[in-house]
Structure formats: C-alpha cells, structure tokens
C-alpha cells in the first residue's frame, strides 16, 4: 500500500517526520512536501513559474512550491502508482473554523480529493512543537488512516482532524466552528518611525458552540470534521430564488435612447 504525505510547514518539520515514522506500519510511505514553510497559502497552485523537486533521500521529495503543488506533482509526476491515501500534516497549530479557508494543510487534502484520492488533514492544537509533542497526534493520524482505508469516504469528501494539546479524552465528530477575528491585525512602528502591520499577530477567539471543532478540542477531544468539495449553500437557494434572477434579462446599457 502506498501512502503519500505532505504538509505546509515544510519538508523538515518535526510533525511531518513523526507522521512518516508512524505511518510506516501501514505500507510504503512517500513524502512530497514544500521545501520551506508555506503556511496560510490556501489552495494556491503555481502556474506561472517552473517547479523543482529534489529527492533529498529515498521516497522523500522537497518541492519548490505550495502544498497543493506538492500533492499534484506527487500524484501526477513523481509517483509511478496512485496512492491509496494522502495525509497532510501534522500542522503546527490548529486548523479549525474559518481558518480552513487559509490553511495549506487543509488545501493539500482538498487537492488529493480533487484527484480522486482519499485524504486526511491533521493538526496539533498546541504551542509546543517538538518531535515528542507530535507523537500522540501521529498515533491519531494512523488510527484515522486505518479507519478511512477500511471504510472509505463519501464522494468528494475528506476529513479534517484536530488533536488537543493534552492526552485526548476521545474523538468527537464535529462541524466547522466560527472564529472571532477581532484585533487580528497588530500595528507597530519600526526603528525609523514608520508604521508596519502584522496580520494574525493578535489573540484570536472563537464561538464556543457545542458540536463544533473548537468546542471539542477546547474540552480535550480529537475533532473530526468531514469537509465537502461542493461549496454550494443549498439552504440559501430558496431565498435567492425570491430575487427572481432567472427572470432578469441582461441587456447591457439601458440608458441610451433607442429612437
């Protein structure tokens, strides 16, 4: 069995190493990951520059691109067979709520799903990121991998896993929570007196709602959230039908005189 691993923290991340060591028991593990940190790049794909991939050791490739690039290149260029599973992580810090839209870790799993490969994104909700800190998360990743390989996933669906900092009390199936972005930008001045801004440097809060990823992790549980490629808001369809858009004829500029 072939398992492809990637991340957005870079090829030398301790979380990726812990994940690779743990996954060895399931089959052949190939790592294709960015050659440096690519956090918060979202689902970016490199289209206007060449990519380079260096095999720094057997089955371990460093790619000069984004996590999405790494997955795409791994599946379509570097691997001679299609992997049975893609696992992205272990990310340094949680990926929950609205943060999913920025996450390179989550985007890599999304890309694998687009390529028709089952995928898991996994993150550690901690501020300490030594190899030992990642070991329990790696064990959770292996357990989730075994479960996905046994049961499969629904169509166009991948799972986002977040592991608490302390020993998990269990696993909770959750929905995506809601982040509070107040004071997310910090303003300061450099030694020359000029203003500069740092995005994401402030303390970010969240809505502590039962059933969400934030609530589960905050209470010591592993959060498992199924994510779907279809972004359509079906609940909003009926409301938008009241706009009668389909009865509107777009005829361009109506200000001119036809006479």
pLDDT for the residue 117: 98
pLDDT for the residue 254: 53
Q: Which one has a higher pLDDT value, 174 or 183?
A: 174
Residue 218 in tokens: 């905050």
Arithmetic mean of pLDDT over the chain: 91
pLDDT for the residue 205: 65
Report, as an integer, the average pLDDT of 70-89: 97
Task: Identify the band that residue 259 occupies on the pLDDT scale cut at 50, 70 and 90.
Answer: very low
pLDDT for the residue 107: 97
pLDDT for the residue 3: 98
Which residues of 99-156 form beta strands (DSSP E)?
119-125
Q: Which one has a higher pLDDT value, 154 or 251?
A: 154
Report, as an integer, the average pLDDT of 246-254: 69
Residue 228 has pLDDT above 70, yes or no: yes
Q: Domain ranges for the chain, please list them.
A: 2-233
Rounded to two decimals, what is the model's pTM? 0.90
Task: Identify the band that residue 74 occupies on the pLDDT scale cut at 50, 70 and 90.
Answer: very high
Give the separation between CA 19 and CA 197, rounded to whole angstroms.
Answer: 35
Residue 167 has pLDDT above 50, yes or no: yes
CATH code for 2-233?
3.40.1210.10
Residue 80, sorted as left (phi over 0), alpha (psi -120 to 50) or beta, turns out to be: alpha
pLDDT for the residue 244: 87
Residue 258 has pLDDT above 80, yes or no: no
> What is 43-105 written as a DSSP string?
T----SS---EEEEETTEEEESS-HHHHHHHIIIII-SS--SEEEEEEEES---GGGGGT-HH
Give the separation between CA 194 and CA 206, rounded to whole angstroms.
Answer: 32
Q: Which one has a higher pLDDT value, 104 or 206?
A: 104
Residue 28 in tokens: 């052949």
């Amino acid at each position: 069995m072939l398992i492809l691993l990637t991340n957005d923290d870079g090829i030398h991340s301790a979380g990726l190493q812990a994940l690779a060591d743990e996954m060895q028991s399931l089959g052949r593990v190939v790592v294709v990951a960015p050659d440096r940190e690519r956090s918060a790049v979202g689902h970016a794909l490199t289209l206007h520059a060449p990519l380079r991939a260096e095999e720094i050791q057997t089955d371990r490739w460093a790619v000069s691109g984004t996590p999405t690039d790494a997955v795409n290149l791994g599946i379509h260029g570097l691997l001679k067979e299609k992997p049975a599973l893609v696992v992205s992580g272990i990310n340094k810090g949680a990926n929950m709520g609205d943060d999913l839209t920025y996450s390179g870790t989550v985007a890599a799993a999304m890309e694998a799903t687009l390529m028709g490969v089952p995928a898991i994104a996994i993150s550690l909700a901690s501020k300490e990121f030594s190899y030992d800190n990642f070991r329990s998360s790696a064990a959770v990743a292996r357990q989730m991998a075994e479960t996905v390989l046994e049961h499969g996933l629904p169509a166009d669906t991948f799972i986002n896993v977040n592991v608490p900092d302390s020993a998990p009390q269990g696993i909770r199936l959750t929905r995506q929570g809601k982040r509070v972005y107040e004071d997310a930008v910090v303003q300061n001045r450099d030694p020359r007196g000029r203003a500069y801004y740092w995005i994401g440097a402030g303390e970010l809060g969240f809505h502590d709602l039962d059933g969400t990823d934030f609530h589960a992790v905050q209470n010591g549980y592993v959060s498992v959230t199924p994510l779907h490629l279809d972004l359509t808001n079906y609940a909003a369809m009926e409301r938008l039908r009241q706009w009668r858009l389909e009865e509107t004829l777009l005829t361009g500029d109506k200000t001119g005189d036809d006479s």
